[in-house]
Amino acid sequence: MKVKITPLRILMYIILIFLAFGYLLPIWSAITTSTKTGEQVALTTPIQLILPPYFGAYKIAFENLKRPIINSLIFTTLATIFSTVLGSLAGFTLAKLMRGSVSKKLLILITFGVFLPYQSILIPLVRLISSLGLYNTIPGLVLTHTAYGIPITTLLFTNYYYEIPDELVEAAKVDGASAAGIYTKIILPLSMPAFVVTAIYQFTSIWNDYLFGVVLTRGEEAMPATVMLANLKGSFVANWNVQMAGALIVALPTLIIMIALGKYLIRGYTSGAIKG
């Protein structure tokens, strides 16, 4: 379709390009700063790119972040799997096995957890995890992230399963299939898009979490990458180039997901909001 060039359109492009610079500025200056020596950081402006790049800051940042990144990869992957599977099972039950107002009420009860300000459960959470002997452990983080992931995964899956026609389930029931059979033979194969969206959403939010990590860990054994990055920022040893390198390393998994699988991540974020 041909679009007429009007002064308004030109103004729109100017605003969009100006804003794009503004949105990129913090990320761009992180890239340029992270590839400089400490001396270059002091002598050049933050937006100036120095070539050839210097990777020493990345080395220092990575040495500090290695263990926490491995921790984060482990507990994020496990909690993503558990919360996604439990959300799918709960969603299937609420949307297809149960009917009417009980199912609706249970869904609201579970969904409220999406909006819960985590501060209001923080003290009991630390007590609970400590008394289970899971303080400062990977299983403690897995359990916590699984539990607080269930409200959103259940919401996403229930909404998805509402769209699958009831007739499919009824027909299978007439043929004598059990609920487990219906789930594995009919629902699961149809659920792959929902699994992708939910798992990506969960991986990103668990990887990005800081609050649970900082109150449930101490020392390196289980510390998440975000907590270590915040420590790096607070320590006097770290210079701006090391801090920026650290920030970009910790941001890498979610940035890759956003650029490569952005539409799935976005579907996770919007499906709750558009459907209400």
Partner 1 sequence: MRKSPDLPYILLFLGPALILVGIFVYVAVLWNIYISLTDWRGLLPSYRFVGLLQYKQLFHDPVFWTSLKNNILLLLLFVPGSILMGLLLAIMLDRKIKFEGGFRTIYTLPFALSFVVTATLWAWMYDPSSGVLNTLFEKLHLEFLESRWITDPNIAMYCIIIALIWQFSGYTMIIYLAGIRSIPIDHYEAAVIDGASTWQVYRYVVIPQLVKPTLSAFVVLMVFSLKAFDFIWVLTRGGPGTSTFILAIQMYKETFAKTNFAYGAAIATILLLMALAVVLPYLYWSYRGEKE
Instruction: Name residues contacting partner 1, limited to 212-251 (CB under 8 A).
Output: 215, 226-227, 229-230, 233, 240, 243-244, 246-247, 250-251
Structure-token match 């959403």, residue found: 201
Among 37, 38, 40, 46, binds partner 1 (CB under 8 A): 46
- Name residue 211's amino acid: L
Q: Looking at 57, 60, 79, 94, which residue binds partner 1 (CB under 8 A)?
A: 94
Task: Determine the Cα–Cα distance for residues 222 and 128; give it in Å rounded to an integer.
Answer: 17
Provide the token pair at 118: 């985590």
Residue 195 near residue 88, CB atoms below 8 Å: yes
Q: Which CB atom, from 88 or from 138, has the smaller least distance to partner 1?
A: 88
> Least Å distance between CB 16 and partner 1?
6
Q: Is the C-alpha dihedral spanning 91, 93, 99, 100 positive or negative?
A: negative
Range 109-148, binding partner 1 (CB under 8 A): 109-113, 115-125, 127-128, 144, 146-148
Task: Quote the distance between the C-alpha of residue 12 and its chain's center.
Answer: 32
| Near partner 1 by CB under 8 A: residue from 22, 165, 189, 219 | 22
CB 215 within 8 Å of CB 126: yes
165 lies in the site for partner 1, by CB under 8 A = no
45 contacts partner 1 (rule: CB under 8 A): yes
235 C-beta neighbours (distance < 10 Å), count: 11
259 near partner 1 (CB under 8 A): yes
Residues 175-194 that bind partner 1 (CB under 8 A): 178-180, 183
- Residue 219 DSSP one-character state: S
On whether the CB atoms of residues 2 and 213 are closer than 8 A, the answer is no
Position among 5, 101, 131, 175 found at the interface with partner 1 (CB under 8 A)? 101
Nearer to partner 1, 123 or 171 (CB): 123
Contact between 19 and partner 1 per CB under 8 A? yes
Does residue 210 belong to the site contacting partner 1 (CB under 8 A)? Answer: yes
26 binds partner 1 (CB under 8 A): yes
Q: Which two tokens stand for residue 65?
A: 């972040």
The tokens 């060039």 sit on which residue?
5
Selected range binding partner 1 among 50-58, 134-142, 191-199, 264-272, rule: CB under 8 A:
264-272
- Residues numbered 51 to 80 that lie near partner 1 (CB under 8 A) are none
- Neighbour-count burial of 51, counting CB atoms closer than 10 A to its CB (0-12 exposed, 13-18 middle, 19+ buried): exposed
